[in-house]
Amino acid sequence: MSNPQTAAGDFPVATIRAMFPALQRAGDFIFLDNAAGAQIPQSVLDAVTNHLVSHNVQRGGRYGRSVTVDQSVADARTSVALLINAYSPAEICFGMNATSFIRLVSLGIGQMLAKDTDEDRDEIVITDMDHDANIATWLALESAGAKFKWWRMREDGNLHVDDLRPLVSDRTRLVACTVTAHSIGSIVDVASVADIAHAAGAEVFLDCVHYGPHGLIDVQAWDCDYLVCSGYKNFSPHMGFLWGRFETLKRLPTFREDFIPNEPPYKVEAGTFIYENVAGMDAAVQYLELIGRNLAPSNNRSRRENIVAGMGAIRDYELLLAREMLGVLKACGATIYGVADETRINERVPTFCFNIGKLSPQRIVEEMAEMQIGIRDGHMYAPRLMKRLNLSMDSGAIRASLVHYNTVEEIRRFGEALRTIIAKLS
Ligand SMILES: Cc1ncc(COP(=O)(O)O)c(C=O)c1O
């Protein structure tokens, strides 16, 4: 990765793949189930190993190894703050995964609703395009008095902010929506969501789990109030993080043992989290910075500027992959759920959900597995979306999800495999 390269066609994918041991060891296997979790670069593995070998102790002690853990957690907060453009590292909370963080925030907001702290604001807007983690967690607040408004996906495979406007009023407490659908890949105009919600005095909770590996996150530009990510979708081991505005987190009721400071991020982090995986997340941010740094070397660029450059290059390359995949699926006669119009390609990431006529998704995915291609079938943890698309929860659809280490050659092999399978099963 030593040459400055900017065009998507010049994206140094071979050099990048060489940084991922799992890809090097995979032989013929093609990873096309990245939406369920991405592979991790050697530098991330090294950070995890280094933690476990050199300072696998509890933080908060006075001896060197423990002090190092404190420093490593602080460094990770700084890195993740840069990754998402947080106002301060103290707004970054570490934990197990996205779902438990969404529930933690929903429990806090539920307590506020029950205590009438929020007076007449008892409505929560949810969408039928989200992962159920960002729906069921809010619906659970019905017993706390919450009422729900559904922001529904249009026929064209995306949420439209014009449909959100009439749902938001001075009764709205929160709008909870995804930045990008993990099932069908559609990108939502979340900055406009925040404009609409804030104009009515409501807050915005963004599920950024699926968008995370695909593009630049900017909580300041998006002007949201909460945002959640899963590290394991972002080239890190299994962990999750929550961001919230400092004052918002300060107000949020959380469970806290008596010895825990009543301050973010500590009041949000129940118990010990997985320090080695947090060290891995720090290294994953540095990996993304490295992509930006190597594409256009400069001594003067800040860490954030390198992230901006790296994620910009990833986004451009992934658009190329998305176009290629769209062409392959159309040539195979697939019914594509989500944005299928090439002129709207900017509205999607390379995550494709489809069916092939009446052929069984399960059978197609099993055949793909035989051919060393890992894709997924089923309901994609999105029961409301399945209903919206008239798909059964039992069979659902097929999802092939790419990230920046995938290649055009892999897409072509996937296309050949799909044609062979269609011929066999038809
Ligand atoms: C968009 C989206 N939200 C939430 C989740 C749940 O994340 P976690 O497994 O970290 O709880 C997922 C997991 O696939 C997801 O894709």
Q: What is the pLDDT of residues 124-138, one digit of tens each?
A: 999 999 999 999 999
Atom of ligand 1 nearest to the CA of 99: 11
Pocket flag, ligand 1, residue 97 (CB < 6 Å)? yes
Atom of ligand 1 nearest to the CA of 230: 10
What pLDDT was estimated at residue 4?
Answer: 41
Rounded Cα–Cα distance for residues 22 and 11 (Å): 20
Among the ranges given (5-19, 70-84, 124-138, 247-261), the one the predictor scored with the smallest mean pLDDT: 5-19
351 to 187, 339, 380: CA distances (angstroms): 11, 10, 12
What pLDDT was estimated at residue 409?
Answer: 97
Mean pLDDT of the chain: 96
Pocket flag, ligand 1, residue 99 (CB < 6 Å)? yes
Rounded Cα–Cα distance for residues 61 and 70 (Å): 9
Nearest protein CA to atom 14 of ligand 1, as residue: 36
What pLDDT was estimated at residue 297?
Answer: 74
What pLDDT was estimated at residue 295?
Answer: 86
SS3 at position 174: strand
* C-alpha 129 – ligand 1 centre gap (Å): 13
176, 228 in Cβ contact below 8 A?
A: no
Question: 10 Å Cβ neighbour count for 243?
Answer: 29
**56 token code pair:** 């696998």
Rounded Cα–Cα distance for residues 173 and 302 (Å): 37
DSSP 152: P
Pocket flag, ligand 1, residue 209 (CB < 6 Å)? yes
For 246-271, letters b (16+ CB in 10 Å) and e give: eebbeebebeeeeeeeeebbebbbbe
What digits encode the pLDDT tens for the residues 355-414?
Answer: 999 999 999 999 999 999 999 999 999 999 999 999 999 999 999 999 999 999 999 999
Say if pTM beats, i.e. exceeds, 0.85.
yes
Give the residue, out of 33, 99, 351, with the most ligand 1 atoms within 8 A of its beta carbon, to mutate for a pocket test: 99
Handedness of CA 36, 342, 175, 236 (dihedral sign): positive
What angle is formed at CA 241 by the lines to CA 237 and CA 245, rounded to 5 degrees?
160
- Does 10 or 323 have the greater pLDDT score? 323
Model confidence at 1, in pLDDT bands (50, 70, 90)? very low
What digits encode the pLDDT tens for the residues 139-162?
Answer: 999 999 999 999 999 999 999 999
- For the cut 70, the answer to whether the pLDDT of residue 239 exceeds it is yes
DSSP 390: T
* C-alpha 207 – ligand 1 centre gap (Å): 8
Pocket flag, ligand 1, residue 131 (CB < 6 Å)? yes
What pLDDT was estimated at residue 2?
Answer: 37
Model confidence at 298, in pLDDT bands (50, 70, 90)? confident
What pLDDT was estimated at residue 3?
Answer: 40
What pLDDT was estimated at residue 118?
Answer: 58
Among the ranges given (94-108, 115-129, 181-195, 275-289), the one the predictor scored with the smallest mean pLDDT: 115-129
Mean pLDDT, rounded, for 208-220: 98
What pLDDT was estimated at residue 5?
Answer: 43
What pLDDT was estimated at residue 119?
Answer: 65
* C-alpha 236 – ligand 1 centre gap (Å): 14
- For the cut 90, the answer to whether the pLDDT of residue 38 exceeds it is yes
